[in-house]
Structure 1
Amino acid sequence: MVGRTIRFDDGAAYEQVMGIWSQLAGGIFLDWLAPPSGLRWIDIGCGNGAFTELLVERCAPEEVHGIDPSEGQLAFARTRPATRRVEFRQGDAMALPFPPDRFDAAVMALVLVFVPEPAKGIAEMARVVRPGGTVAAYMWDMLGGGFPLDPVLVEMRAMGVAPPRPPEMNASRMDVMHDLWTDAGLDAVETREITVHRIFAGFEDFWMTSLKAGSLGPTIAAMASGDVETLKSRVRARLPADGDDRITYSARAHAIKGRLPM
């Protein structure tokens, strides 16, 4: 996935930062979709295959195709044992390399805010899905405090440091997502919130994991060492640990699904 100056090319680093979070939310998302087995799926913005793997393991698909602009991410996705039968290829969410009516379901997992023209991306999802098929997505509540990296981002902004932002932050709002789906002509549109929790071994675990994020690591690396220590102290104060020094942090995503009219 690419969003202006934010790049996701290191599949292993992405796995530690966001892949685990994606699967936590993705499990609830798939339970909500409750799809039958044997469907033909396309996973758009599949990245390093975190959600793709979950899809294969839980939904018994007939076939799955994964599309992402980053060859580095796709290389990691191809190493997952569960995705050996998945066809991964480099591609653009706004110009999918498939004919109309090719799939039973199209999904985007944590992608929508990185699509430069979200409406075009949803139109492409609808185009490649057959009548009666499903178009669905989930995205962190980027503007409402639901993003897993918010403890660091909030304190960076308070210190006057501005890391890169995805190009279409508004697309994470539930009302905007609903409008995108209905404007694309989809029926039976439903939305829901998904809240997940992740346990870190301690603050250093949380901090070092966060530094692997494509939007944070380079920005923090460019800060003066004293500012980095100040930032760490401010973030630590936002994350109380339990009696075993573990940190449990919650994140919230917005999910949406709709059906292509028959």
Structure 2
Amino acid sequence: MRRRPPGGPPGIMARMGMRTGTRTGAGPERQGPMWAAGEAYEPYVGRWSRLVAARFVRRLDAAPGGSWRDVGCGTGAVTQAVLDAAEPADVIGVDPSQDYLAYARRHVADRRARFLRADAEHLPFTGSSASAVVSGLVLNFVPDPARAAAEMVRVVRPGRLVGVYLWDYGEGGMEAIRAFWDAATALDPGARALDEAVRFPLCTRAALGGLLAGAGLRDVRTEETRVPTPFRDFADYWTPFLGGQGPAPAYLAGLPEDHRARLRERLRAALPRAADGTIALHARAWAARGRRAA
């Protein structure tokens, strides 16, 4: 009998465009075939990332005005949060995905915002040109996070802020996705290699703060942001996983139909549902920020 390769049914690793633990190529979360369509990303985790983005920007307590940079802007959640809460003179978002940039341009109408194609390791800005540099849910998917952090520090002006945040995959803070991988690995132990908790060691409070401190930022602070992620019913939870956006949906897309059905029913039985069918879960993100030395 032929042995199945690790990581799930045949071809899944190839379909996801993955090596072992990082995405191929350079750039943020939405790069490549696993992150290709803003319309599919939004109902999957975009609706929750917008809640975190708003809280993250408010907590930065940055001075009004100035020129901001949003590294790995994706669908524009952090850019919009900056526009809403920080009173910037302008915001420039960068992302390597043309589709995500098109989505951001359609949905962020403010004239102070513009979007460029670039990746996190090669920012197209001169040194000390930004009043603040922010990045949301991106650094896990950058092949060299330290280089990306160094680029953000290079671009920000002395004494000004760099702030980043990531979902807490490692300690179970993303309950919706944790439930998915627990069910997936119970049926297919090889799926564990694709689990964000295994692949992304950067998504802890200590690791994220250490990344910014290692890039030379001063007064680095880390904190958690916890938001509710309620689902109307099981369909509201399950359907976004069918969109192919992200590690879990990409894994699901590569499964044979019978395996997919078993996984669906295992999740249906495992998730905590109220009498009216609603599913009350939560998501936690770790955020870190610091200032470039004068």
Fold shared per TM-score above 0.5:
yes
Match of 2:169 among 139, 142, 160: 142
Shift of residue 225, structure 1, vs aligned partner: 2.4
> Retained in 1: the 8 A contact 2:29–2:140?
no
Listed one character per residue, the Cα deviations across residues 54-77 of structure 1 (whole Å, up to 9, x for unaligned) are: 221222111100010100100000
1:20 maps onto 2:47 in alignment: yes
Partners in 1 of 2:31 and 2:38 — Cα distance? 19
1:228 maps onto 2:256 in alignment: no
Q: Which moved more, 1:17-26 or 1:128-137?
A: 17-26
The number of residues matched between the two structures is: 262
Q: Which moved more, 1:205-214 or 1:106-115?
A: 205-214
Shift of residue 13, structure 1, vs aligned partner: 0.9
> Retained in 1: the 8 A contact 2:166–2:203?
yes
Q: What 5-or-longer segments of structure 2 have no aligned partner?
A: 1-27
TM-score, structure 1 length as denominator? 0.93
Shift of residue 139, structure 1, vs aligned partner: 0.2
Partners in 2 of 1:244 and 1:84 — Cα distance? 43
1:152 maps onto 2:183 in alignment: no
Q: Which moved more, 1:32-41 or 1:130-139?
A: 32-41
> Retained in 1: the 8 A contact 2:38–2:100?
yes
Q: Which residue of 1 aligns with 2:61?
A: 34
1:76 maps onto 2:108 in alignment: no
Listed one character per residue, the Cα deviations across residues 62-114 of structure 1 (whole Å, up to 9, x for unaligned) are: 11000101001000000014444312011010110100011011111001101
Q: Which residue of 1 aligns with 2:278?
A: 246
Query: What is the RMSD computed on CA atoms of the aligned residues?
Result: 2.0
Match of 1:181 among 208, 212, 234: 212
Shift of residue 230, structure 1, vs aligned partner: 1.6
Match of 2:151 among 119, 124, 128: 124
Match of 1:115 among 137, 142, 145: 142
Give 3-state SS (helix, strand or coil) of 1:216's partner: helix
Partners in 2 of 1:120 and 1:168 — Cα distance? 19
AA of the residue aligned to 1:153? W
Q: Which residue of 1 aligns with 2:70?
A: 43
Partners in 1 of 2:30 and 2:67 — Cα distance? 28
Listed one character per residue, the Cα deviations across residues 115-158 of structure 1 (whole Å, up to 9, x for unaligned) are: 11111010000000000110111101121112342211221122
> Retained in 2: the 8 A contact 1:53–1:82?
no
1:106 maps onto 2:133 in alignment: yes
Partners in 2 of 1:93 and 1:229 — Cα distance? 38
Q: Which moved more, 1:50-59 or 1:127-136?
A: 50-59
Q: Which residue of 1 aligns with 2:123?
A: 96
Percent identical among aligned pairs is 36
Q: Which residue of 1 aligns with 2:80?
A: 53
Q: What 5-or-longer segments of structure 1 have no aligned partner?
A: none
Shift of residue 197, structure 1, vs aligned partner: 0.5
Return closer, same or farther for 1:235/1:86 CA change in 2, 3 Å cut-off. Answer: same
